[in-house]
Amino acid sequence: MRIELERRPRASALYAILSPFIALVLTVIAGGIMFWLLGKDPVSALYSFFVEPLLDVWSLHEIAIKAAPLILIGVGLSVCYRSNNWNIGAEGQFIMGAIAGAIVPVVFHEWHSPLVLPLMLVFGMIGGALYAAIPAFLKANMNTNEILSSLMLVYIAQLFLDWMVRGPWRSPEAYNFPVTRDFAPEAILPEILTSGRTNLGFVFAIVAAVLVWFMMRYTLKGFEISVLGQSERAGRFAGFSSRRMIWFSLLLSGALAGLAGIAEVSGNINKLQPVISPGYGFTAIIVAFLGRLNPLGIIAAGLFLALTYVGGEAVQLTLSVSDKVTRVFQGLLLFFVLSCDTLILYKIRLVFPGRAVPAAQQGAE
Amino acid sequence: MSVAGASAGSPLLAVRNLTKLFGTFAACNGIDLDIRPGEIHALLGENGAGKSTLVKMLFGVLAPTAGEILWLGAPVSIASPGAARRLGIGMVFQHFSLFEALTVAENIALSLPPGISLARVAEEAARLSHAYGLPLDPKAHVADLSVGERQRIEIVRALLQDPQLIILDEPTSVLTPQEADRLFETLAKLKGEGRSVLYISHRLEEVQRICDRATVLRHGKVTGACDPRQETPASLARMMVGSDVAAVSAEGTNTKGEVLLEARDLDVAARTPFAVSLKNVSLKVHGGEVLAIAGVAGNGQGELFDALSGEYPVSKGEAVLIRSRPVGSLGITARRLMGAGFVPEERHGHAAVPAMSLSDNLVLARSQSDRRAFLGGGVLGIIKSAAVHMAAKRISAAMDVRKSGEDPPAGSLSGGNLQKFIVGRELDRQPAVLIVNQPTWGVDAGAASRIRQALVDLARSGSAVLVISQDLDEIFEVATEIAVISEGRLSDAYPARALTREKIGLLMGGMHGERVPEAAHAH
């Protein structure tokens, strides 16, 4: 028996909707097998991973806190990916946004004003955007591959943050621990619910997603993004500039990643430390694709990926498995999402030898 | 080589009830075909009639769904192009598969089994090219060769296998009339040796000239088998199209207005190593005129379109003028706002985004020229989808665009219907200047005649129309003035009535001839 892919005459609308769900089911099955191989009961492990966090107010808040940066970054990345600009460096833009936003509460810690917080947020966005401007400049002017340049800039940002908190910005009051001073209360993003820690960052994420969805769905800018993503030549015919689109998409996604960075630091960590992200910038790539590059889908995907973080922590505690379980789940999910997308354009056929079946399946001309 | 085993009169290749289904669509439906030894057999049909699918099955590229293929009377299954070659079938494809950076001999060696020395390949290729009147330098790089020369490589490559049957897919679509004549002499020589040729074309004139028998396909079925010399072009066309094709009406008179489109000493350097540079191109199109630019593919037509449309602006503003204003350095949007419309050659991925709906593809070309009608919300630029849908519907109705559904993706339309929409998208604006590259390339006869009529009518209403085309029939149907492009240079324009095919052919080929010594010096 042989498995063949046969091109569909046109993309299947059904599988465009179904494919993320099929991917989810396959991920859960593969995860269950993984737990079984680790010698854990798959059913109860999956229960603690995926279900238990949903039954508890505290962990629901944790999910919202972790979903906020994933959604913010994922929405920005969706604009990049739709326009065929492959920004892989959101993690670095997230960190640089956090550092730029922290200038106000760390360097000017004696300045108290209601302007502190808005200024931090603006600085955060500028920091992320400027950091994304590097691969944008390189691609627009020197045709440098943005996948490589943006990815490599992540490591620079991580080491820069490490150096900042150990060197110039180390808190004089922290007994030589590599952290900055704690942010003053007016530099902290307010919580939005009385029941838990969810902060304003979640609202930013939802607002950003809705705005970008509106832009993509109804405006000429959104149209320009899709056209240039599908065919640069047709975009040129329409009078759109792919160079300007490189700048637009990278600056927008950099700004949103930077906003996510400063919101995470301000609302959740309340200071800078050597590591401020469990890989949100990379996980957001999965979020963007799981959400079908649609901002509303990204909200759902961001919540689900946040669940894998919280669930991963939960099984660490209850089953004493490694914290790498979360990364494995996220990796499996991206793998299955991308492979299930094949179903949108192709049919799977099982071919049994002995039956006369054409050897070369090619489309009619 | 003699045709062993086939007695005179019995077919070399016979096809019985051959069918190919793609899903439920029958690209070929119960086809019967006989090719006798030593004949040139024409396979006629419009685009999408199933010609390519049929020959792909004969050459082992596609497997038939049903039916049988008989070679010298014995049923055979042709599983791959290699198997076809071993049987004695050679094929020259419409689109060449050559590496431009390699030499002629290297390209030929790539298609042969490994282990044959390059020197032997070169020697053999030189011998064959000489024997069949296909002059070819085995050491030349493909990138430096004309399309006609590239085709000779493909033919020599096929002949090296000593085939009994040679299949040629639309061989003259890329040739000058003189180059085509030379090809016909080669075909006659092959026929004289007892080899058979399956000649695929939609050009009735050449089929009548060189073919002994013809099989006509329409919608995947055989609609006629005849001796083309006994038929008239009209009767052949009827078999191909199924009905009479309306001739373009040139009645009425064009009143010559002001110069609306002009190029003055337009120079454009080649953007890529294999692009053509434009040298000193000057042209003028008055209102009421259709200037057609004839030329063999790859002589700078695409580059000329890019420069005139502003997709790639040039540094000198005065090099292009639209309605007497210099626009050379302005982009396509600015030129559209001055009343120009554009139709590029490539439908998919240039004139239209295949995965997007027709209405989206309307916005593609007209978002700025029709800003007031199509966009709202001030700086937000919200697309008014109701207005766009109405306009798309109006265009589809005006151009008789046949489609499945209200607003289907552009890619789901047939070539002719999509092209009607793309041309209609510009006509709907009543452009003062329309620039069209290959208006009916790969389009069925019905749609082609409708598009040509629309171009003629637009000029008659006072607009300036520039048509870049490789199709001389089309040029004579629509043009009031004709110029020829060759090697990036444009000839003077002549009134269409004053020109003959031969004169145009000389202009195309004459310039080729002049270039050769020049290039030799350059090396």
DSSP A78-105: HHHHHTT-----HHHHHHHHHHHHHHHH
Domain co-membership, B118 together with B206? yes
Domain co-membership, B93 together with B209? yes
Token code pair at residue A292: 């079908």
| Helix, strand or coil, per DSSP, at residue A361 | coil
Q: Nearest C-alpha of chain B: how many angstroms from A220?
A: 5
Determine the pLDDT at residue B458. 95
Determine the pLDDT at residue B143. 81
Confidence of residue B514 (pLDDT cuts 50, 70, 90): very low
Q: Count CB neighbours of B51 within 10 A.
A: 26
Distances (CA, A) of A23 to A154, A294, A296, B75: 28, 17, 18, 47
Domain co-membership, B330 together with B474? yes
- Amino acid at site B439: P
How many angstroms separate the CA atoms of A238 and B369, rounded? Answer: 11
Determine the pLDDT at residue B46. 73
Note whether residue B249 is domain-resident: no
Helix axes B147-159, B177-192, angle to 10 degrees: 10
How many angstroms separate the CA atoms of A163 and A337, rounded? Answer: 37
CB contact under 8 A, B367 and A365: no
Note whether residue B458 is domain-resident: yes
Note whether residue B390 is domain-resident: no
Q: What is the mean pLDDT of residues B356-364?
A: 96
Q: What is the mean pLDDT of residues B384-394?
A: 95
User: What residues of chain B lie within 8 A of the CB of A239, using their CB?
Assistant: 331-333, 336, 367-368
- The shares of helix, strand and coil residues in chain A, as percent rounded to the nearest 5, are 70, 5, 25
Token code pair at residue A352: 């049994």
Confidence of residue B321 (pLDDT cuts 50, 70, 90): very high
Determine the pLDDT at residue B117. 86
Determine the pLDDT at residue B41. 94
Note whether residue B196 is domain-resident: yes
How many angstroms separate the CA atoms of B243 and B236, rounded? Answer: 10
- Report the residue from A223, A227, A365 with minimal CB separation from B383: A223
How many A/B residue pairs have CB atoms within 8 Å?
Answer: 90
CB contact under 8 A, A239 and B346: no
- Which residues are paired to B26 by β-bridges? B21
Domain termination residue (choose one: B207, B241, B275): B241
Determine the pLDDT at residue B137. 85
| Helix, strand or coil, per DSSP, at residue B270 | coil
β-bridge pairing B25-35 and B74-76: unpaired
User: What residues of chain B lie within 8 A of the CB of A358, using their CB?
Assistant: 62-65
Domain co-membership, B205 together with B274? no
Q: What is the pTM of this model?
A: 0.78
How many angstroms separate the CA atoms of A106 and A93, rounded? Answer: 19
Specify the higher pLDDT residue, B419 or B100. B419
Domain co-membership, B214 together with B334? no
Q: What's the domain count of chain B?
A: 2
User: What residues of chain A lie within 8 A of the CB of B53, using their CB?
Assistant: 364-365
Domain termination residue (choose one: B241, B276, B309): B241
**DSSP conformation class of B189:** H
Question: For residues A342 and A298, is the Cβ–Cβ distance under 8 A?
Answer: no
Over 60: is that where the pLDDT of B304 sits?
Answer: yes
Question: For residues B250 and B455, is the Cβ–Cβ distance under 8 A?
Answer: no
Distances (CA, A) of A342 to A7, A18, A336, A345, A348: 10, 12, 10, 6, 9
Q: Which domain holds residue B145?
A: 13-241
* Phi, psi for A294 (deg, rounded to 5): -105, 125
Domain co-membership, B237 together with B286? no
What stretch of H or E contains A148?
A: helix A146-166
User: What residues of chain A lie within 8 A of the CB of B381, using their CB?
Assistant: 219-221
- Report the residue from A218, A358, A360 with minimal CB separation from B383: A218
Q: Nearest C-alpha of chain A: how many angstroms from B176?
A: 26
Domain co-membership, B281 together with B148? no
Confidence of residue B13 (pLDDT cuts 50, 70, 90): very high
Q: What is the mean pLDDT of residues B477-484?
A: 93
The total number of residues shown for chain A amounts to 365
Q: Nearest C-alpha of chain A: how many angstroms from B365?
A: 5
Distance of CA B70 to the CA centre of its chain: 32
Q: What is the pLDDT of residues B423-452, one digit of tens each?
A: 999 999 999 999 999 998 877 778 888 999
How many angstroms separate the CA atoms of A267 and A133, rounded? Answer: 26
How many angstroms separate the CA atoms of B484 and B490, rounded? Answer: 6
pLDDT average per 10 residues of sequence, chain A (365 residues): 78 85 92 91 91 93 96 98 97 98 94 94 98 98 96 98 95 90 93 92 97 96 96 95 97 98 96 95 94 95 94 88 86 90 85 53 39
Q: Could you tell me the strand order of the sheet in which B259-268 lies?
A: B278-286, B259-268, B320-322, B325-326
Q: Nearest C-alpha of chain A: how many angstroms from B436?
A: 13
The answer for residues whose C-beta is within 8 angstroms of residue B97's C-beta and 6 or more apart is: none
Q: What is the mean pLDDT of residues B489-496?
A: 92
Token code pair at residue B286: 């008055």
Confidence of residue B47 (pLDDT cuts 50, 70, 90): low
Determine the pLDDT at residue B282. 95
Domain co-membership, B463 together with B499? yes
Domain co-membership, B269 together with B313? yes
Determine the pLDDT at residue B416. 84
Rounded (10°) CA dihedral A153, A189, A316, A178: 60
CB contact under 8 A, A227 and B364: yes
Closest CA relative to residue B52, chosen from B151, B167, B149: B167
A358 touches chain B (CB under 8 A): yes
How many angstroms separate the CA atoms of B445 and B19, rounded? Answer: 25
User: What residues of chain A lie within 8 A of the CB of B351, using their CB?
Assistant: 234, 237
| Helix, strand or coil, per DSSP, at residue B86 | helix
- Report the residue from B64, B65, B311 with minimal CB separation from A236: B311
Determine the pLDDT at residue B482. 94
- Which residues are paired to A251 by β-bridges? none
A286 touches chain B (CB under 8 A): no
Distance of CA A78 to the CA centre of its chain: 9
Note whether residue B391 is domain-resident: no
Closest CA relative to residue B423, chosen from B372, B467, B470: B467
CATH number of the domain at B488, please: 3.40.50.300
Closest CA relative to residue B435, chosen from B302, B277, B252: B302
CB contact under 8 A, A359 and B65: no
Note whether residue B375 is domain-resident: no
| Burial degree of B163 (CB within 10 A; 0-12, 13-18, 19+) | buried
| Helix, strand or coil, per DSSP, at residue B267 | strand
Helix axes A220-230, A200-218, angle to 10 degrees: 80
CB contact under 8 A, B331 and A239: yes
Query: Which stretches does DSSP call E strand in B358-509?
Result: 375-376, 382-383, 433-437, 464-468, 481-486, 489-490, 494-495
Closest CA relative to residue A356, chosen from B308, B96, B60, B63: B63
Confidence of residue B246 (pLDDT cuts 50, 70, 90): low
Q: What is the pLDDT of residues B324-335, one digit of tens each?
A: 999 999 999 999
Over 50: is that where the pLDDT of B518 sits?
Answer: no
Note whether residue B368 is domain-resident: no
How many angstroms separate the CA atoms of A267 and A260, rounded? Answer: 10
Q: What is the mean pLDDT of residues B496-502?
A: 84
Note whether residue B131 is domain-resident: yes
Q: Which residue does chain A place closest to B442, by CA atoms?
A: A365
Cα angle value A85/A87/A88 (rounded, 5°): 140
The answer for residues whose C-beta is within 8 angstroms of residue B272's C-beta and 6 or more apart is: none
Helix axes A146-166, A242-264, angle to 10 degrees: 30
CB contact under 8 A, A237 and B364: yes
User: What residues of chain A lie within 8 A of the CB of B380, using their CB?
Assistant: 219
Over 90: is that where the pLDDT of B390 sits?
Answer: yes
- Report the residue from A236, A239, A358 with minimal CB separation from B62: A358
User: What residues of chain B lie within 8 A of the CB of A223, using their CB?
Assistant: 360, 363, 367, 383
The answer for residues whose C-beta is within 8 angstroms of residue B456's C-beta and 6 or more apart is: B248, B249, B250, B290, B477, B478
Domain co-membership, B266 together with B232? no
- The shares of helix, strand and coil residues in chain B, as percent rounded to the nearest 5, are 40, 25, 35
Closest CA relative to residue A103, chosen from A59, A155, A168: A168
| Helix, strand or coil, per DSSP, at residue A70 | helix
Closest CA relative to residue A277, chosen from A158, A188, A182, A106: A158
Determine the pLDDT at residue B297. 76
Token code pair at residue A15: 């599988």
Confidence of residue B224 (pLDDT cuts 50, 70, 90): confident
Domain co-membership, B33 together with B83? yes
Query: Which stretches does DSSP call E strand in chain A?
Result: 2-7, 346-351
Q: Which residue does chain A place closest to B382, by CA atoms?
A: A219
Q: Nearest C-alpha of chain A: how many angstroms from B11?
A: 26
How many angstroms separate the CA atoms of B157 and B146, rounded? Answer: 17
Q: Which residue does chain A place closest to B410, by CA atoms?
A: A10
Q: Nearest C-alpha of chain A: how many angstroms from B299?
A: 20
Question: For residues B342 and B332, is the Cβ–Cβ distance under 8 A?
Answer: yes
H runs (alpha helix) in B160-203: 177-192
Report CA torsion sign: A135, A140, A142, A148: positive
Specify the higher pLDDT residue, B59 or B219. B59
- Which residues are paired to B484 by β-bridges? B294
Domain termination residue (choose one: B208, B241, B274): B241
Determine the pLDDT at residue B511. 46
* Phi, psi for B434 (deg, rounded to 5): -125, 130
The answer for residues whose C-beta is within 8 angstroms of residue B225's C-beta and 6 or more apart is: B213, B214, B215, B216
How many angstroms separate the CA atoms of B399 and B449, rounded? Answer: 11
User: What residues of chain B lie within 8 A of the CB of A363, using their CB?
Assistant: 22
Closest CA relative to residue A76, chosen from A60, A97, A61: A97
Distances (CA, A) of A162 to A165, A175, A307: 6, 17, 28
Confidence of residue B250 (pLDDT cuts 50, 70, 90): low
Domain co-membership, B115 together with B25? yes
Token code pair at residue B234: 């009209």
